[in-house]
Amino acid sequence: MNNFHSLVQNKNNSQAHTNDQISFIVNSYLQNKISDSEMTKWLKAVYENGMNITETVFYTNSIIQSGQRIVFDNIDGFIIDKHSTGGVGDKVSLILGPILAACGCYVPMIVGRHLGHTGGTLDKLESIPGYDGLISSKRFKQIVKDVGISIIGQTDEICPADRKIYMLRGKTDTVASFPLICGSIMGKKIAEGIQGLVLDIKIGNGAFIKDAKEANKLGQLLATIGSNFNVEVNYINSDMNQPLGKYSGLLCEIIESMEALQGRGDDDLMKVVFTLGELALNMANQNSPTDKMKKVISDGSAFEIFKKMVRSHGGNLNKVKLSYKNYIDIFSDKDCILSYNTKKLGDAINFITILNGDIDNNAGMQFYKKNGDYLKKGDKICRVFGDELKNIEVASAMISPLFNKC
């Protein structure tokens, strides 16, 4: 018989868990037989001592088995998803997903809420009036078939264990554990019923991973996990030393994504979109992937799919309008070369959008300069905006000193 406290001690001593032991831990926590404080001890033990590949496969399988696994029948097209390890201003999923669907792929996408200093795709979508991202797996499956893409959050039907563990990881500083990351990512993605997955592993001062060596280690581990479940996985490393695109927040990122789908995306943002899209369409055995992606943007079909997806989830894009009441602009106080502290920007953005209590869909930041730009004294660097002036003042005070050091 498994004893939870003994298993925690074993992991603290770097001993490997068996499949039964990992299933016991995951299911016991899901069934409230293990408290948050007890589970935190195990998460920290894993964070400090890791799990080997076999254990990580066991953990991923336990996450999948905690809920339903979707199976798509009678679909004439490659079933693929995209995932990012998280970044500031990262709205790539909102742009790439409809593009891939317009190119003939099917994209079932389960996304998360904010974690640490990074924004969550579900939070952004829920800033659209009426958008319901917590639908049944049956409805999710139908929208994918009808539209080509559906983006939802975790429900009690799909990987409920990960949903609960994911929230606890964010509260206990155990986010940056490769086995836990792999189980969370691959569990949800495999449960979606996909055949392929493209990963965007962020590197830099706004990412959980700081260098290419660690990013490649994670990418290879995720690919290995995928192969154990017959899911092909490819990945890229991309820069997160500055916010991606021009905006970071909630509704402002939806609007920027809509602009990108109409051919008006920022160069750094579209570079990531096209690089991942090329990987995905190559996986789907499609020729001339970049030309196809540019075509579905120019002819409007990708944007039409985005609009149709939003309508299928109850969202009303006619009501999407950024109408913040207050803002504070931040200027350079000297001549210098700009270098962003992206993590601290992310902390401030999360504060004004989500972490202060009520969600402010109108809150966010607009960036006027890129890393390496030469600033003259008085140049506008960014705008902090939202409905609550007090929160904007706090966020501005959080980030203003960062630019005095450039």
Please confirm, yes or no, whether 370 is among the known catalytic residues: no
How far is it, in rounded angstroms, from Cα 278 to Cα 294? 11
- Retrieve residue 340's tokens: 């962003």
Look up the CATH architecture of domain 80-169+180-318.
3-Layer(aba) Sandwich (3.40)
Cβ(144)–Cβ(100) below 8 Å: no
pLDDT digits over 129-183, tens only? 999 999 999 999 999 999 999 999 988 899 999 989 988 998 898 887 999 999 9
Render 44-60 in DSSP notation, one character per residue.
Answer: HHHHHH---HHHHHHHH
Q: In sequence order, what are the beta bridge partners of 108?
A: 150
pLDDT averaged over every residue in the chain = 94
Verify whether residue 264 is a known catalytic residue: no
Residue among 23, 137, 184, 396 flagged as catalytic: 184
For residue 119, what pLDDT is reported?
Answer: 75
HSE on the CB side for 140, CA within 13 Å?
A: 26
List, in order, residues 6 or more apart from 166 with CB less than 8 Å away.
Answer: 112, 115, 154, 184
Q: Is 83 a catalytic residue?
A: yes
81 three-state secondary structure:
strand
Residues above pLDDT 70, as percent of the chain? 98
- In the predicted model, is pLDDT for residue 389 greater than 70? yes
Whole-number Å distance between alpha carbons of 138 and 211: 40
Domain boundary assignment for the chain: 4-50, 80-169+180-318, 326-403
Q: Which two tokens stand for residue 164?
A: 């609960």
- Catalytic residue status for 113: no
Q: What is the mean pLDDT of residues 264-270?
A: 96
Q: Which of 81, 90, 123, 162 is catalytic?
A: 162
Q: Return the SS3 of 329.
A: strand
CATH class for domain 326-403? alpha beta
Cα separations in angstroms, 402 against 186, 210, 251, 333, 339:
36, 19, 25, 11, 9
Residues, the chain: 406
Query: Which is the catalytic residue, given 41, 113, 164, 169?
Result: 169
**Tens of pLDDT, residues 219-230:** 999 999 999 999
By CB atoms closer than 10 A (0-12, 13-18, 19+), residue 93 is: buried
**Torsion over CA: 169, 43, 84, 402 (sign):** positive
Task: Decide if 313 is catalytic.
Answer: no
Of the residues 117, 164, 188, 313, only one is catalytic, namely 188
User: Which pLDDT score is estimated for 112?
Assistant: 81
Strand partners, 380: 331
Q: Which of 83, 246, 313, 343 is catalytic?
A: 83
Residue 247, beta-bridge partner list: 366
Q: For the segment 277-299, what is each residue's pLDDT rounded down to a tens digit?
A: 999 999 999 999 999 999 999 99
What is the pLDDT averaged over residues 255-267?
97
Q: Residue 71 — φ and ψ, nearest 5°?
A: -125, 125
